[in-house]
A and B are shown apart, each in its own frame.
Chain A
Amino acid sequence: MKGLRKYLTPFAPDQSGAVGVLYELGGIVVIVDAGGCAGNICGFDEPRWRTQKSAVFSAGLRDMDAILGRDDRLVSKLAHAAEKLEARFAAVVGTPVPAVIGTDYRALKRMAEKKTGLPVLAIDTNGMEWFDVGEEKAYLALFQTFARESLPVQPGKIGVLGCTPLSMSDLNAGTKLEAMLTAQGWDKVCCYGMGCGLEAIQAASSAEKNLVVSPSGLKAAEYLKKKFGTPYEAADPLAAELLGTLDVTGKTVLVTAQQVRGNALREELLHRGAKGVTVSTWFMKKKEWEQPGDVLLTEEDQYQELVEQGGFDVILGDSALFSMVKQWNGERLALPDFAVSGRLME
């Protein structure tokens, strides 16, 4: 039955993705909810919440706020907070409640900007899409708002798009990428949203190149290319090491991961002698990056059928997925996928 889940809990939603991109940038982030969505984000989807403070708040909506559409109260609360907190911008992040009552985000943005004097991002997430959709919206809004000046290109500077705990399942992904890219000869590495702040976003036009490590960064990369001519490529330099010493010589493999990681794993598996590799994903599947036979997953029984009838020797993916195919006898390699199970890399 479409939408029915018997094994998997729902994946990280779009509002979590949006907050994840904005988390380290020093803004006031308001989740337009009653409290439950903020609880989900802070208590589960944002692992940095436990160790790194950020001005992420719930709007604390109550039934009459929603029924009467009292956006002015939300703006007033935001303005009060802006008076008391040190913030360089504000963001309002949507949830199912504003989606149901049809909140006008453009109006909300204008009202909030006028009242607070801060730039305001309005991210129209609705809690019904997955995290990557929210990340994509947040990245785009950020660069459109803050990367306005065309600066001279700094040779040796690379920007990284799409690196968040949800996309990379690793709290150290930013540092690892920085070390890896520095070793490759890049002088300055800017992991937008994971390790560098708002200044780096403002100076994005000076990057020589952008690296897109997950599909959520693609639209922003396209925007930066169009606006400033910054070229980009898609790659996940961290993927290969996830395979350890896995021997796949002559074997057919099913990979389930976000698409850029999945493609990077495919490349490495074929390099190690795999006979064939199919990449499947629960999240965005960009046409420009897909290969024939790649699969967009939406339902549990679709995954079960793919594994049981696909003739694979090895499956790679979050261990939560394996609970759906207990009877299947092939080899499994667990790759934590935070957006699926909430498990991070060790």
Chain B
Amino acid sequence: MTNAISYPVRQLAELGWNRLPEELRSNTHLIYSSPATLAFNSPGAEGFGVKRAGLAIPGSVMLILSPGCCGRNTSSISRLPQYDGRFFYLTMDETDVVTGRHLKKIPQAVEEVCESLSVKPSVVMLCITCVDALLGTDMERVCRTAEKRVGLPVRPCYMYALTREGRKPPMVHVRQSLYSLLEPMKKRGTSVNLLGFFAPLRDDCELYDLLRQIGVKSIREISTCPTYEEYLRMAEANFNLVLHPESRLAAEDIQKRLRIPSIEPTRFYQIDRIHRQYQALGAALGVSFEDRQYLEKAQNAVEAFRSHHPNLTFAVGECMNGDPFELSVALVQYGFRVSEIYGTVTAENFIWVKKLSEISPETRVFANLEPTMLYYDCAQCEADVTIGRDAGYYHPDCPNLAWNSDVQPYGYAGLWGLFHALDVLLKGEG
């Protein structure tokens, strides 16, 4: 057998979520981390993994407590100017693992790090890894001891790859840690937080305008808080919009501690869904969003693209800002063809698998992490353009839109941004 294994969505929909083939269940096979999917399986490898995310608080520094191997790839992040001088390491040896003696060294290490800096950090994040997960380290307690020693907030940041498919995967945990520093303060009805991402939404995202329409004056995202003090003012919000499901538990924490309620809208590329979601959001807030101009702009962008580039066939990957199955549904609804999807079928996105089986039953699904992807042969696939970094890797000679920037596409702006970027890409190729 030397072919990458795949299934048509029709077959997956027939089988149902509980009876998916084992190739699509990542806990049943070895994991192939292609150059394109590294970030997916390795919580610190690329993109906003735990390490970058843990430094989202302005003025924070991070001490990584781990065997040398876990801190290794931070070299590439450390070269980015915004992370210069913000990562420190306390490496563990075998004796540390056996005796747990490294825990006693942590407060002193935190102190030495703080003393070595010309500007006192706002927070010290302590990043720990699988080893301490297995040792059952009480890192909250270690953080409290370190806090007493340096007189600064010290917070844990769990880079436990072992728990990636558990209830609290690393990227969920890190979001909880990041917002755990917020303290109750007087609420302001005109303040809203956008939770979920570590970089802001696109500047042209209509969500900003729509919120202002209903009287919101301060829209805070952790990535745009210029100072620690401004970050702390996220506690004054009237409500939180949770834009990424990995922030759900953080939002629940905030609701409990600070009494800030939250609403969780989803990122869609289907224009009707975006519209209906704004209506629902308005109803929940007791207001009405006037989104017609944005809806029309997005519709025009789709129509213009379709008239310039009719009959395109796409291959869609998951290493991009969106759900590959939902995006594929949208593309098919807009009149395009999707030949292949490289993705992970989850309980949450199975609804789109079913939808796709109705409108494009022969679209094939490949499991990105499955070992036979080593043999993926792009000659077997018809695609005029690919979306997602992984799809680009599998089709090196096909025009590719990576669509994986830190700055996040969302709502109608995400949709028109996508088609604008595709248009630029294809015109450049032409």
Which residues of A pack against B, CB within 8 Å? 1, 3-6, 9-16, 28, 30, 33-40, 42-45, 49-50, 53, 55, 57-63, 66-67, 77-78, 80-81, 83-86, 95-97, 99-101, 126-128, 130, 341-342
Cα-based distance from A15 to B69 in the complex (angstroms): 8
**Closest partner residue, chain B, to A49 (CB atom):** B35
**Closest partner residue, chain A, to B163 (CB atom):** A63
Note all chain A residues with C-beta closer than 8 A to B400: none
The 5 closest A-B pairs by CB, nearest first: A39-B42, A39-B45, A10-B68, A13-B69, A34-B161
Residue B165 interfacial (CB < 8 Å): yes
Shortest CB distance A132–B (Å): 13
Cα-based distance from A78 to B31 in the complex (angstroms): 10
**Closest partner residue, chain B, to A37 (CB atom):** B69
* Known A3-B93, A9-B71, A44-B73: A36·B161 in contact at CB below 8 Å: yes
Which residues of B pack against A, CB within 8 Å? 1-2, 5, 26-33, 35, 38-39, 41-46, 66-76, 78, 87-94, 97, 102, 105, 108-109, 112-113, 116, 129-131, 133-135, 159-166, 369, 371-372, 374-375
When the two chains form their complex, are residues B91 and A38 in contact, meaning their CB atoms are under 8 A apart? no
Interchain Cβ contacts under 8 Å between A and B, 27 examples:
A3-B92, A4-B89, A9-B78, A10-B71, A10-B89, A11-B68, A34-B160, A34-B161, A35-B43, A36-B43, A36-B130, A39-B39, A39-B45, A59-B31, A60-B26, A60-B369, A62-B162, A62-B163, A77-B28, A77-B29, A80-B30, A84-B1, A85-B372, A85-B375, A96-B131, A126-B67, A128-B68
Chain B CB within 10 Å, residue with most, of A12, A39, A55: A39
Shortest CB distance A69–B (Å): 11
**Closest partner residue, chain A, to B135 (CB atom):** A100
Contact among A6, A34, A37, A45 for B88, CB-based, below 8 A: A6
Shortest CB distance A30–B (Å): 6
Contact among B42, B97, B163 for A96, CB-based, below 8 A: B97
Cα-based distance from A127 to B69 in the complex (angstroms): 5
**Closest partner residue, chain B, to A339 (CB atom):** B72
When the two chains form their complex, are residues B67 and A342 in contact, meaning their CB atoms are under 8 A apart? no
Shortest CB distance B297–A (Å): 38
**Closest partner residue, chain B, to A84 (CB atom):** B1
When the two chains form their complex, are residues B42 and A61 in contact, meaning their CB atoms are under 8 A apart? no
Cα-based distance from A13 to B74 in the complex (angstroms): 13
Shortest CB distance A57–B (Å): 4
Cα-based distance from A86 to B275 in the complex (angstroms): 50
Note all chain A residues with C-beta closer than 8 A to B75: 9, 44, 341-342
Cα-based distance from A127 to B68 in the complex (angstroms): 6
When the two chains form their complex, are residues B88 and A4 in contact, meaning their CB atoms are under 8 A apart? yes
* Known A96-B70, A97-B162, A100-B97: A86·B91 in contact at CB below 8 Å: no
Note all chain B residues with C-beta closer than 8 A to A5: 88-91
Shortest CB distance B210–A (Å): 38
Cα-based distance from A127 to B75 in the complex (angstroms): 17
Cα-based distance from A58 to B130 in the complex (angstroms): 15
